[in-house]
Amino acid sequence: MPARDPAAFAFLSARRSRPAKLFAGPVPDRTALEEILTAALRVPDHGKLEPWRLLVLEKPAFARIADLAEARAVELGGDAEKIAKGRGQYDKGQLAVVVIFSPKASDKIPVVEQMYSAGALCLGLVNAATAAGWGANWLTGWPAHDAAFCAAAFGCIEGESVAGIVHIGTPAADAPDRPRPDLARIATWVSA
């Protein structure tokens, strides 16, 4: 029987995201963030393609990106709600890591598996930041799915997309946990 890691299992059993809109300062400094990023990069990466890149957003960048989100919403004919949703996480952000899915040409590794790797990196980043004592929240929002916005805000080129924007900061007091899926309702056991 494999050796159980009780501390790791307890952490994963209780892990949850904290709402980024409630984060306060301080945020991790560069050394602390590099430690978190290094841990997060231990992600499944079939073929060692590294089909992602990271963009670290520091506080001064958020106002510019919020303005870009608003301008794009207006350009698309968005109403006040779309503008507010577009600006929201950037108006309140202090530190975030944008995980940009950047697929690589490969005869062996399908693009969908490369995309899963980028998603795994987002979750790894949330877990690493949380394990380091910070609050972490993986967000996207409509601007993160808009190619023109992503090109202007994050330098995405053709073929790239945003897998997630992971905000990291000091979490507010414990908020209530969300309801979790009912295992008996969603799991099917197949024995033959």
Strands (E), 17-134: 52-58, 95-101
With a cut of 80, say whether residue 7 has pLDDT above it: yes
Q: What share of the chain is helix, strand, coil (3-state, %, to 5)?
A: 50, 15, 35
With a cut of 90, say whether residue 24 has pLDDT above it: no
With a cut of 90, say whether residue 106 has pLDDT above it: yes
Q: Using alpha carbons only, give the angle 30, 31, 37 rounded to the nearest 5 degrees.
A: 85
User: pLDDT value at position 44?
Assistant: 86
18-172 to CATH, choices 3.30.70.260, 3.40.1170.60, 3.40.109.10, 3.40.1160.10 = 3.40.109.10
Structural contact between residues 76 and 147, judged by C-beta atoms closer than 8 angstroms: no
- Band (pLDDT 50/70/90 cuts) for residue 93 is very high
User: pLDDT value at position 14?
Assistant: 87
Residues 6+ apart with CB under 8 A from 162: 98, 99, 100, 101, 140, 144, 145, 150, 154, 156
Mean pLDDT, residues 81-89: 93
Residues counted in the chain? 192
User: pLDDT value at position 113?
Assistant: 95
User: pLDDT value at position 15?
Assistant: 85
User: pLDDT value at position 46?
Assistant: 80
Distance of CA 157 to the CA centre of its chain: 19
Instruction: Give the Cα separation of 181 and 173 in Å (integer).
Output: 24
Mean per-residue pLDDT of the chain: 94
Report the percentage of the chain scoring pLDDT > 70. 99
With a cut of 90, say whether residue 104 has pLDDT above it: yes
Q: Phi first, then psi: what are they for 98, rounded to 5°?
A: -90, 120
Structural contact between residues 83 and 74, judged by C-beta atoms closer than 8 angstroms: yes
User: pLDDT value at position 17?
Assistant: 78
Mean pLDDT, residues 76-96: 94
User: pLDDT value at position 172?
Assistant: 82
* In the chain, where the domains are located: 18-172
Instruction: Give the Cα separation of 179 and 20 in Å (integer).
Output: 19
* Per-residue model confidence as pLDDT tens digits over 133-191: 999 999 999 999 999 999 999 999 999 999 999 999 998 877 677 889 999 999 999 99
Question: DSSP string covering 107-171, please?
Answer: SSS-HHHHHHHHHHHHHHHHHHHHHTT-EEEEE--GGGG-HHHHHHHH---TT-EEEEEEEEEB-
Q: Which amino acid is at 127?
A: N
